[in-house]
Amino acid sequence: MNIHEYQAKRIFKDYGINVANGILVANLNETKEALDVLQTDKFILKAQIHAGGRGLGGGVKITKDKQEALEWVASMLNTRLITKQTSKDAMLVEKIYIEEAIKFKQEIYLSLTFDRNNESISLIVSKNGDISIEEAAQISPHLIKNISIDPQIGLCLFHVQELVVFLDINKELALKLHETILKLYQIYIQKDANLIEINPLVLTQDDEIYALDAKISFDDSALFRHPEILALSDPSQADPSENEAKEQKLNYIKSNGSVGCVVNGAGLAMATMDIIKELGADAANFLDVGGSATSDGVAKAFRLILKDKNVKVIFVNIFGGIVRCDRIASGVIKACKEIGLDVPVVVRLDGTNAKEAMQMLKESALKGLHASQNLLDGAKLAVKLAKETSL
């Protein structure tokens, strides 16, 4: 689960990490009041959306002039902002965060995330702040330090000492950097975060450290332990289909392809998306109906997928273990009849009662319904139909 920058900074502040004074606004009256309250020679205006790349996307403004600030807020509020991390549908801007400017002598990039390959927590620092870390890794990898932290041991003094040498900072700043990173690590562990990113973290002239940016992403599976974090959720920032899927207890993530996928099991769902990509198309979604898939669940999945107008074909890929294939076939037939599908459906069923299920699909004689017991053949047909329908 993602949260807004202003929410992340409140968490930082609760842990004693320095952040600039800021006020959240949602209309022009609040903006006028905020501009009068903040004591600064420059105002930093930031659109609050759950996506990075706001600066390049026009979602960040620096101004000395209150009137210019008002005009920018007026032009940004309740519009949709497109960045390199948003979909083509963009994201709704309902709030602007206005901050006091902080003067600094050095800016760096800092993040904590999980490295699955090394089964460790990665502490990543770049000497260049306020730039894309992905671009920095390509252009100047020698300016990036990646330190692996054993989660069984935790953050140690030698980890920070390694960064101090890398950044070449003085003793006073080194102590404050250690304190800041320790607090960030505490947030990461105690709040079950899977990403903390600050871009930039700045070192000021009077040797203070400030987080001028803040991004925190939390482990969805651990939210039951953190009702205070769950309360920070902003449904307006999620795709409406994903919100609906949560209500229906479907594991759904929207993508940008043309092949809608209904699969049981996360591993099989990812493999299905991979094979579609390998065959020259893109999946429109990740959708795991789970190990207890029912005919009603399949019908709900169909309705959800078809709200995406980019979908040209639906590919159902079910391996029946606990799930009986005949029940899935019943759900597919039910969905086709009730919804009145105007896109073809390819169904691949294997496992428990697969033969009976295939016979049910055949006897239904529904137009546009295709059956396959082979994953590769089914995927090939789905991709072929998607391309033909797109013409």
Is 331 labeled as ligand-binding? no
Q: What is the rounded average pLDDT of the residues 139-143?
A: 84
77, 169, 237, 301 from 127: Cα distances, Å: 34, 11, 32, 46
Is 303 labeled as ligand-binding? no
Say yes or no to pLDDT of 326 above 80.
yes
Say yes or no to pLDDT of 327 above 90.
no
Between CA 50 and CA 55 the distance in angstroms is: 13
Between CA 351 and CA 342 the distance in angstroms is: 28
Q: Which residues pair with 263 in a beta bridge?
A: 288, 317
Between CA 51 and CA 86 the distance in angstroms is: 6
List the domains of the chain with CATH numbers: 21-100 (3.30.1490.20), 106-230 (3.30.470.20), 239-390 (3.40.50.261)
Cis peptide before 227 (omega within 30 of 0): no
Token pair listed for 185: 């690590």
pLDDT number for residue 291:
60
pLDDT bucket at 208, cuts 50 / 70 / 90: very high
Token pair listed for 290: 């789970």
pLDDT bucket at 76, cuts 50 / 70 / 90: very high
247-290 confidence digits (pLDDT tens): 777 888 888 899 999 998 889 999 999 999 999 999 999 998 87
Between CA 303 and CA 107 the distance in angstroms is: 48
Between CA 176 and CA 185 the distance in angstroms is: 14
Alpha-helix residue ranges (DSSP H) falling in the chain:
5-14, 28-37, 66-76, 133-139, 157-167, 171-190, 227-230, 240-247, 266-278, 295-305, 325-335, 354-364, 375-390
Residue 144 vs residue 323, higher pLDDT:
144
Residue 289 vs residue 47, higher pLDDT:
47
Between CA 274 and CA 286 the distance in angstroms is: 11
Is 46 labeled as ligand-binding? yes
Is 244 labeled as ligand-binding? no
Is 264 labeled as ligand-binding? yes
Nearest to 324 by CA among 302, 349, 288: 349
Nearest to 242 by CA among 234, 253, 227: 253
- 60, burial (CB in 10 Å: exposed 0-12, middle 13-18, buried 19+): middle
Packing angle, helices 375-390 and 266-278, rounded to 10: 60
Q: Which residues pair with 124 in a beta bridge?
A: 111, 146
Is 208 labeled as ligand-binding? no
Q: Among all residues, which ones are annotated catalytic?
A: 109, 197
Average pLDDT, the chain: 90
pLDDT number for residue 391:
58
Is 3 labeled as ligand-binding? no
pLDDT bucket at 300, cuts 50 / 70 / 90: confident
Q: Side chain identity at 277, as an amino acid letter?
A: K
Is 55 labeled as ligand-binding? yes
Say yes or no to pLDDT of 166 above 90.
yes
Between CA 172 and CA 208 the distance in angstroms is: 9
